[in-house]
């Protein structure tokens, strides 16, 4: 087995990836979104945030639950991350977060630790927690959150990558592996609110300049897994050159590709705009590279140390959470 095949197997079997593969079974059982007099739902499943038009406003709505392994490892950081991941889901769509609500299930002592993390993150990201629910009798500790935001300019969809586009990996490398949770690359706890506000505004500026066609927040599946989610949602395939992905010094590829970065996104850019999108990212303190190309193969392949391997075959692998009724449907951004 080649090194590329071993790495592909490692990514494909990673729980952060396999946990995504049954989402479409749930979403496909839900009824279609009905037309509403008071709102128009423009984007739904498969997006980091749903896009809803109310009057002349474009609202973003998203939610995330925290993996129980992180709660067990560090309850404080789990609470912190429940804010972080939701903020990222709004910002990667070129949005601005407004407020959030939290749901906690835990004993009073554990809930206090989780809430302390939430409180720290709301101050760090300047996003207030305005309500939620607390269940002290939950049989298993849990924390999740939902967030509201809005778009001033152009929404960046997840499903608009086209054959011929360049694949970008954009990440904040100014961080460290979390001391109690090795799957987290922490780039935010040591930064000020103003520093984070600048980093998180990159997608808005890239969108304003028309540099990025599609994007997704790098989430639990890691960088390669998240690229797979974007390509699958877009009904396309692609090739990724692993060694061109920005990586912290001292970390192995085997570790880095499974980590959740404090801030990172994957994107598809028109060929003529890709290098400018990377230069703009550098001006925001981010590392960005063109790491591959979008094609029509309906597969995600990687090239690594002189060999290649298929990571996902989208004729059977379903990662994005889009229900079957929306599969391969290309919607134009508003």
Contact status, residue 131 vs residue 204, Cβ threshold 8 Å: no
Walk along the chain (334 residues) and give the pLDDT tens digit of each residue. 898 888 888 887 877 777 667 656 655 555 566 666 567 888 888 899 999 999 889 999 999 999 888 999 999 999 999 999 999 999 999 999 999 999 999 999 999 999 999 999 999 999 999 999 999 998 999 999 999 999 988 999 999 999 999 999 999 999 999 999 999 999 999 999 999 999 999 999 999 999 999 999 998 899 999 999 999 999 999 999 999 999 999 999 999 999 999 999 999 999 999 999 999 999 999 999 999 999 999 999 999 999 999 999 999 988 877 765 444 344 333 3
The angle at the Cα of 112, spanning 109 to 117, to the nearest 5 degrees, equals: 140
pTM higher than the cut 0.75: yes
Output the CA torsion sign for 303, 304, 307, 311.
Answer: negative
Complete DSSP assignment for 114-167 = HHHHHHHHHHHHT--EEEEEEETT-SS-EEEEEEEEEESS----SS---TTPEE
Does the domain spanning 3-19+157-326 belong to CATH 3.30.1360.120? no
Contact status, residue 236 vs residue 228, Cβ threshold 8 Å: no
The domains of the chain are located at 3-19+157-326, 48-151
Fold assignment, 48-151: 60s Ribosomal Protein L30; Chain: A; (3.30.1330)
Residue 306: strand, helix, or coil: coil
Which of 193, 200, 226 is closest to 97 using CA atoms? 200
Which of 334, 325, 316, 332 is closest to 232 using CA atoms? 316
Q: Which helix (H) or strand (E) holds 82?
A: helix 75-91
């Amino acid at each position: 087995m080649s090194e590329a095949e071993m790495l592909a197997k490692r990514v494909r079997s990673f729980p952060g990836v396999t946990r995504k593969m049954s989402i479409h079974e749930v979403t496909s059982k839900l009824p279609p979104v009905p037309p509403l007099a008071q709102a128009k739902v423009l984007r739904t499943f498969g997006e980091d945030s749903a896009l809803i038009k109310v009057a002349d406003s474009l609202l973003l709505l998203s939610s995330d639950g925290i993996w129980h392994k992180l709660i067990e490892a560090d309850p404080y950081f789990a609470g912190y991350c429940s804010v972080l991941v939701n903020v990222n889901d709004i910002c990667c769509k070129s949005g601005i977060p407004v407020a959030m609500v939290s749901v906690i299930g835990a004993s009073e002592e554990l809930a206090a630790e989780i809430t302390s993390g939430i409180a720290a993150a709301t101050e760090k990201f300047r996003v207030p927690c305005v309500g939620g629910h607390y269940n002290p009798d939950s049989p298993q500790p849990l924390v999740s959150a939902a967030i509201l935001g809005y778009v001033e300019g152009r929404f960046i969809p997840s499903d608009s990558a086209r054959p011929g586009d360049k694949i970008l990996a954009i990440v904040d490398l100014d961080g460290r592996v979390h001391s109690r949770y090795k799957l987290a690359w922490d780039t935010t706890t040591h930064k000020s609110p103003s520093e984070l506000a600048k980093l998180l505004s990159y997608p808005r500026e890239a969108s304003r300049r028309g540099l990025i066609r599609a994007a997704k927040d790098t989430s639990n599946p890691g960088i390669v897994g998240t690229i797979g989610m974007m390509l699958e949602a877009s009904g396309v395939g692609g090739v990724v050159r692993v060694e061109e992905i920005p990586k912290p010094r001292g970390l192995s590829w085997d570790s880095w590709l499974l980590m959740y970065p404090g801030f990172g996104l994957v994107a598809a850019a028109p060929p003529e705009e890709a290098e400018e999108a990377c230069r703009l990212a550098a001006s925001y303190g981010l590392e960005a590279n063109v790491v591959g190309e979008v094609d029509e193969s309906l597969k995600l392949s990687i090239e690594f140390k002189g060999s290649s391997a298929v990571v996902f075959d989208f004729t059977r692998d379903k990662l994005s959470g889009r229900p079957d009724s929306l599969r391969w449907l290309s919607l134009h951004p508003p």
